[in-house]
Amino acid sequence: MKTEILIWSLKAGLILSFLFAAYYLLFRNNTQFQLKRMLQMVMLVAAISFPLIKISVSNDTIPTVYAFQQLDNSLTSENPVLNPSVELAPTSQVEIPNSNFSTADIIWWVYLAGVGLSALIILIELAKLGHLRFKGNRELHLGENVIGHPSVKYPFSFMKWIFVPTDSDYSEDDWRIVLAHENLHLQQKHTLDILFASLAQCMLWYHPAVYLIQKSMKSNHEALADAAVLASTPYNQYSKTLLALSLRTNTLTLSHSFSLISSLSKRLKLMKLPKSKLRKTILSISLLSFAGAFVFISTSLKSQDTREAKRLELIELMTSWPVTMANNRLIAKYEKIRDVLIQENPGSKIVFTYLKDFGDVLEYTESFRPGQETLFYNELLKEEKEELYHLAIQDTTSDKSRSILFAADKATQYRFKIHELSEGIKASILNSANYILFCKSTYTDTTSFISDIYDINEVDVAPTPVGGLENLAKSIALDIDLPKNISKKDLPKSIDFEFVVEGGNSISHIKLLTEVAGNEKRQDEVYKFFGMVHNEMRDKIGSLYPWKRGIKDGNQVRVKMQISIPTKYM
Instruction: Render pLDDT for 321-339 as a digit per residue (tens, 0 to 9).
Output: 777 778 888 999 999 999 9
In this prediction, residue 34 carries a pLDDT of: 93
In this prediction, residue 443 carries a pLDDT of: 61
Helices (H), 457-519: 469-478
Half-sphere exposure (Cβ direction) of 238: Cα atoms closer than 13 Å:
22
Judging by DSSP bridges, how do beta strands 506-512 and 453-455 pair with one another? Answer: unpaired
Judging by DSSP bridges, how do beta strands 156-158 and 161-165 pair with one another? Answer: antiparallel
In this prediction, residue 91 carries a pLDDT of: 38
What is the CA angle 190-196-198, rounded to 5? Answer: 105
- How many other C-beta atoms are found inside a 10 Å radius of the C-beta of residue 463? 24
Q: What is the mean pLDDT of residues 379-388?
A: 93
Cα 208 to Cα 545: distance, rounded to the nearest angstrom: 58
Which residues have a Cβ under 8 Å from the Cβ of 286 and sit 6 or more positions away?
none
Q: pTM for this structure? A: 0.51
- Inter-residue contact 367 to 461 (CB < 8 Å): no
Cα 417 to Cα 436: distance, rounded to the nearest angstrom: 27
Cα 373 to Cα 5: distance, rounded to the nearest angstrom: 53
- How many other C-beta atoms are found inside a 10 Å radius of the C-beta of residue 293? 10
Cα 527 to Cα 513: distance, rounded to the nearest angstrom: 12
pLDDT surpasses 60 at 377: yes
High-pLDDT (> 70) share of the chain, %: 83
In this prediction, residue 518 carries a pLDDT of: 75
In this prediction, residue 304 carries a pLDDT of: 55
In this prediction, residue 206 carries a pLDDT of: 92
In this prediction, residue 96 carries a pLDDT of: 38
- Inter-residue contact 530 to 513 (CB < 8 Å): no
CA 433, distance to chain mean position in Å, is: 35
Query: In terms of pLDDT, which residue wins out, 146 or 253?
Result: 146
pLDDT surpasses 90 at 369: no
Mean pLDDT of the chain: 81
In this prediction, residue 213 carries a pLDDT of: 94
- Inter-residue contact 288 to 22 (CB < 8 Å): yes
Instruction: Give the type of residue at 449.
Output: F
pLDDT surpasses 70 at 451: no
pLDDT band at 153; cut points 50, 70, 90: confident
In this prediction, residue 57 carries a pLDDT of: 43
Cα 248 to Cα 269: distance, rounded to the nearest angstrom: 19
Q: What is the mean pLDDT of residues 82-103?
A: 44
In this prediction, residue 407 carries a pLDDT of: 57
Instruction: Give the type of residue at 226.
Output: D
Return the exposure string of 70-81: e unless at least 16 CB atoms fall within 10 Å of the residue's CB, then b.
ebeebbeebbee
Closest CA to 421 of 329, 308, 537, 533: 308
- Inter-residue contact 559 to 459 (CB < 8 Å): yes
Closest CA to 40 of 259, 199, 219: 219
pLDDT surpasses 70 at 552: yes
C-alpha dihedral sign at 235, 241, 247, 253: negative
Cα 188 to Cα 180: distance, rounded to the nearest angstrom: 12
> How confident is the model over 174-231, as pLDDT tens digits?
889 989 999 999 999 999 999 999 999 999 999 999 999 999 999 999 899 988 999 8
- Inter-residue contact 564 to 477 (CB < 8 Å): no
Instruction: Give the type of residue at 182.
Output: E
335, 342, 348, 355, 425 from 378: Cα distances, Å = 13, 17, 21, 10, 21
Query: In terms of pLDDT, which residue wins out, 420 or 42?
Result: 42
Half-sphere exposure (Cβ direction) of 113: Cα atoms closer than 13 Å:
6
Class of residue 329 by CB neighbours under 10 A (exposed 0-12, middle 13-18, buried 19+): buried
138, 483, 514 from 518: Cα distances, Å = 83, 18, 14
Q: What is the mean pLDDT of residues 123-142?
A: 90
pLDDT surpasses 50 at 86: no
Most confident by average pLDDT, 96-110, 242-256, 362-376, 483-497: 483-497
pLDDT band at 271; cut points 50, 70, 90: confident
Cα 487 to Cα 168: distance, rounded to the nearest angstrom: 84
Least confident of 54-63, 212-221, 244-253: 54-63
SS3 string of 279-312?
A: HHHHHHHHHHHHHHHHHHHHHHCHHHHHHHHHHH
Length of the chain: 570
In this prediction, residue 82 carries a pLDDT of: 33
68, 135, 305, 423, 424 from 314: Cα distances, Å = 11, 66, 14, 10, 8
In this prediction, residue 101 carries a pLDDT of: 59
Cα 394 to Cα 426: distance, rounded to the nearest angstrom: 12
- Inter-residue contact 209 to 40 (CB < 8 Å): no
Least confident of 106-120, 313-327, 422-436, 479-493: 313-327
High-pLDDT (> 90) share of the chain, %: 36
Q: What is the mean pLDDT of residues 388-413?
A: 63
What is the CA angle 501-505-511, rounded to 5? Answer: 45
pLDDT surpasses 80 at 256: no
Query: In terms of pLDDT, which residue wins out, 129 or 490?
Result: 129
Query: In terms of pLDDT, which residue wins out, 281 or 85?
Result: 281
Name the strand (E) or helix (H) holding 272: helix 261-272
Query: In terms of pLDDT, which residue wins out, 120 or 103?
Result: 120
pLDDT band at 54; cut points 50, 70, 90: low
In this prediction, residue 409 carries a pLDDT of: 53
Q: What is the mean pLDDT of residues 163-173?
A: 86
pLDDT band at 90; cut points 50, 70, 90: very low
pLDDT surpasses 70 at 262: no
Closest CA to 158 of 36, 37, 252: 252
